[in-house]
A and B are shown apart, each in its own frame.
Chain A
Amino acid sequence: RKEVEQDPGPFNVPEGATVAFNCTYSNSASQSFFWYRQDCRKEPKLLMSVYSSGNEDGRFTAQLNRASQYISLLIRDSKLSDSATYLCVVKWGNLIFGKGTKLSVKP
C-alpha cells in the first residue's frame, strides 16, 4: 500500500516563530515530491516542489532525504497568513497525498 505519513498537528505557533513539518513515504521508488497548501474549505494549491539538493522560496525551505524517505518543510518568521493545512505529496505514478498538517499562527 502506498503511504505518505504526516503529523496531523495542529501546530499552534506565535507570529514570527519558525516551524517545521515532517513527512515520510513508504515507496523508495517515488519520483518527485511536493508541498501543497490548503486553506480552510478551499482547494489545495502547490506551494513548492522538493528537490534532492534542498530548495528555498522566501521564508519556506524544503528538504528531501531519499535514504530515510523523509521530506521536510521549514517556515521561518511565521505570518498569520501562513495558517493553513500543509499537504505532503509524493509522486509514483499518480500523486499520493498525505493527510495534511494543520498550522495555526497566532498574534
Chain B
Amino acid sequence: DAGITQSPRHKVTETGTPVTLRCHQTENHRYMYWYRQDPGHGLRLIHYSYGVKDTDKGEVSDGYSVSRSKTEDFLLTLESATSSQTSVYFCAISEVVPEGNTGELFFGEGSRLTVL
C-alpha cells in the first residue's frame, strides 16, 4: 500500500471553529489532492497541489484553503467550519501529471469530520 497517512482520522468540532486536516506521504509523489465524499455525491475535488507551494482549486473549494510547504505534507484548512462541511475527507496522491494517461490515485484512509 502507498504510504499515505491522514490525521486526525476522526474529529468532532463545533460550527465556527477552525479545523486542519493533514495528509502525509512517504512516496515522494508530486501531486496531492483533497476530496470530500458525501452520500448522494461522488468524490468531489476540493483542492490539489502539483508541487511545493503550487496549488489550485477543485470543484468545491469554497470554505477551504490548502498549503503545501513540503513535498510530503498537504494540509487542508477549514477556516470556520460549518455543518455543511461534515463529510469524509480523502487525501490522494499520484505520481504522474493529470494530463498523463494513468488515472491511478492512491488514497489515504480518510478523515471523518463532524461539525455540530
Contacts and interface: CB of A to CB of B under 8 A. Distances in A.
Interface stretch (A12-20, A37-45, A56-64, A69-77): A37-45
Contact of A95 (B41, B90, B105, B109): B105
A93 interface: yes
A49 B103 contact: yes
B48 interface: yes
Interface of A: 4, 31-34, 42-46, 49, 87, 89, 91, 93-100
B107 interface: yes
B98 A43 contact: no
Interface of B: 33, 35, 40-45, 48, 58, 90, 98-99, 101-105, 107-110
Contact of B109 (A43, A87, A97, A98): A43
A94 B43 contact: no
29 contacts: A4-B42, A31-B99, A32-B101, A32-B102, A32-B103, A42-B109, A43-B110, A44-B43, A44-B90, A44-B107, A45-B107, A46-B103, A46-B104, A46-B105, A49-B103, A87-B42, A89-B103, A91-B98, A94-B33, A94-B48, A94-B58, A94-B98, A95-B98, A95-B103, A96-B42, A97-B35, A97-B44, A99-B41, A100-B42
B110 A99 contact: no
Contacts of A4: 42
Contacts of B107: 43-45
Task: Determine chain A's interface SS by DSSP, over half rule.
Answer: strand
A21 B65 CA distance: 36
A96 B109 CA distance: 19
A33 B104 CA distance: 11
A87 B35 CA distance: 14
A80 to B, nearest CB: 22
Contacts of B48: 94
A98 B40 CA distance: 10
Contacts of A45: 107
B75 to A, nearest CB: 19
Contacts of B103: 32-34, 46, 49, 89, 91, 95
